[in-house]
Amino acid sequence: MAEIISIGTATPEFCHRQEDVLEFMAKVYNLDETEKRKLAFLYRHSGIQTRYSVIDDYSLPEKEWNFIPPKMETVFPSLEQRMKIYNREAMPLSVNAIKKCIEGIIETKKITHLITVSCTGMSAPGLDLQIAEAMQLPVNIFRTSVNFMGCYAAVHALKMAKLICGGEAAANVIIVSTELCTLHFQKEYTPDNATSSLLFADGSAAVLVSNTIQSPKAISLKGFYSQFAFKGKNDMAWELSSKGFLMTLTSYVPQLIEEDIAAYVQNALQHHQIDIKDITHWCIHPGGKKILQVIQQQLGLENDDLCFSKKILQQYGNMSSSTILFVLKEMMQNLQPSSNIFGVAFGPGLTMETFIAAKR
């Protein structure tokens, strides 16, 4: 049996109001009044109030910018500069989330497996070894990483944790998903870059999955189902470049999800031999307000069914793979016995990853 015992979350110190980020974007892109009004309309209808970042520029006067060159008159941050910040900031943020996750539950020396998740930074030695050193984890700990899978990557990591718990008699697995999306702000004002600047944020979430620890708050991981559609492979993408990671997120993505979500969910439910009416909680990755709207409509859900997803989107924005774990943490605090959770997240492919979890 694999059970989620606890989840801990952490955010960087800089909290930015959505209206302040809008002002930053208008200045950095030197938008005229017409373009600024168009962007302001999108920001007002984003469903987001605040977002967190390891970069403080987004709420500062132009003369105080550090990461972004004022009026972009000097060389824009290179990939090397962005990764330097990632290597400096990702480890302490991850450790913070892990400590919150395991506090009062398990000692670090009893952690048997570490799975790191990220699509916003890479290095070798990587985040896993940085965490192991900082937290003095066992030197023979099993380590693996899930990289570049996008917003559904944490679900994939949960799947790995369940496999580990099913194959080892005493497994205490830590998953930590850490994303610093705002490092990859781009110079060119394009629809994709405007969308990214509207949605994405930084955050970290850690999960303890175990087959040894007993907890009244635990939820059991029952199973997983994944499906993808090649027709969306060019509409959601994440590529490396010399000027940072380039996000493609077209306006067609909500339409793709709208076309396929009902059939995909039905396939997943059939795979697990469970009826949709038996699902009590919907743990939906809040990829954006429009995505939540089309999912609610296509699945015939009530407003309250997506209350946790909407809350996380409002308070934190889209933190890529970390986001669904923020949603699940909120959900776990309010679960009653005999609850069935259906979780779903989307990413490049277009890929849908799902999970079923249950409260004893």
Tell me what the mean pLDDT of segment 106-115 comes to. Answer: 97
State yes or no: pLDDT of 199 exceeds 90. yes
pLDDT for the residue 73: 56
pLDDT in tens, 160-173: 999 999 999 999 99
Range name among 152-166, 219-233, 288-302 with the lowest pLDDT average: 219-233
pLDDT for the residue 296: 96
Alpha-helix residue ranges (DSSP H) falling in 201-319:
253-272, 289-299, 307-316
pLDDT for the residue 74: 59
What tokens were used for 285? 């990755």
Name the phi and psi angles at 195, rounded to 5: -65, -45
The more confidently predicted of residues 78 and 236 is 78
pLDDT in tens, 327-345: 999 999 889 999 999 999 9
The fraction of the chain above a pLDDT of 70, given in percent, is 96
pLDDT for the residue 77: 86
Q: Whole-model pTM? A: 0.95
DSSP 349: T
Range name among 35-49, 61-75, 196-210, 292-306 with the lowest pLDDT average: 61-75
pLDDT for the residue 30: 86
Tell me what the mean pLDDT of segment 79-90 comes to. Answer: 94
pLDDT for the residue 229: 80
Name the phi and psi angles at 79, rounded to 5: -60, -40
pLDDT band at 252 (very low <50, low <70, confident <90, very high): low
What tokens were used for 48? 């987001």
State yes or no: pLDDT of 72 exceeds 60. no
Within the chain, what is the greatest distance between any pair of CA atoms?
63
Tell me what the mean pLDDT of segment 100-119 comes to. Answer: 97
The more confidently predicted of residues 195 and 82 is 82
Please tell me the distance from the alpha carbon of residue 53 to that of residue 237, in angstroms, as a whole number: 22
pLDDT for the residue 70: 64
Range name among 48-52, 127-131, 242-246 with the lowest pLDDT average: 242-246
Tell me what the mean pLDDT of segment 212-240 comes to. Answer: 86
What tokens were used for 51? 């977002």
User: Residue 348, preceding bond cis, omega within 30 degrees?
Assistant: no
Q: What is the CATH number of domain 219-359?
A: 3.40.47.10
Domain ranges of the chain: 219-359
* DSSP code per residue over 259-276: HHHHHHHHHHHHHHT--G
Tell me what the mean pLDDT of segment 32-45 comes to. Answer: 91
pLDDT in tens, 254-295: 888 888 889 999 999 999 999 999 999 999 999 999 999 999
Sign of the alpha-carbon dihedral angle for 235, 245, 192, 346: positive
User: Residue 138, preceding bond cis, omega within 30 degrees?
Assistant: no
pLDDT for the residue 304: 94
